[in-house]
Structure 1
């Protein structure tokens, strides 16, 4: 199994309400990919991390794939491309790691 973890910060030029709405859209659109993209085992988007003040991310994607090939296919799948286009328009500071579990 391959894990794909992505973290983002909200974009700077948005109100608190806009950030909350963006987080909802991101969560719904990315989590829906589990049933649309072959090879996805799980997708979870965390939109409310603990308010410790020491975190480096506002949003986290925690996903699992059957294989590296499945992850690669997910990256170019039209439904993922559509969701990722919106994500990129409202976030900054993307950090990502992929690894075998």
Structure 2
């Protein structure tokens, strides 16, 4: 299983913005065949090191993750909508 983790720091950390980003990410469930598991979390501690939203996605392979990256729903309905809200994002990818 290949895991792709993305941490998002928003430009404006309001509850409305955080909920919008989190719900937009969650909406991918069931819409991209290669995406086997999805988990979205919202930061609770709000420390200096914290990011606002965490996305954990799982795929059968790196190739499937690459297909997900270019899938029209991911590109248009997710990235296209949340990009204006994002200040910075960081990723970690691993095989388990």
For the superposition of Structure 1 and Structure 2, which TM-score range results when normalised by the shorter chain?
0.7 to 0.9
Q: Is the 8 A contact 2:38 2:56 kept in 1?
A: yes
Matched, 1:60 2:54: yes
Structure 2 residues not aligned, in runs of 5+:
none
CA distance in structure 1 between the partners assigned to 2:48 and 2:56 by the alignment: 20
The 3-state SS of whatever aligns with 1:87 is helix
Q: Is the 8 A contact 2:24 2:82 kept in 1?
A: no
CA distance in structure 1 between the partners assigned to 2:16 and 2:68 by the alignment: 25
Q: Is the 8 A contact 2:18 2:52 kept in 1?
A: no
Aligned length: 95
The 3-state SS of whatever aligns with 1:79 is helix
Shift of 1:27: 2.0
User: Are the structure 2 counterparts of residues 52 and 87 from structure 1 closer, same or farther at C-alpha, using a change threshold of 3 Å?
Assistant: closer
Shift of 1:92: 1.1
Structure 1 residues not aligned, in runs of 5+:
none
More helix by percentage? 1
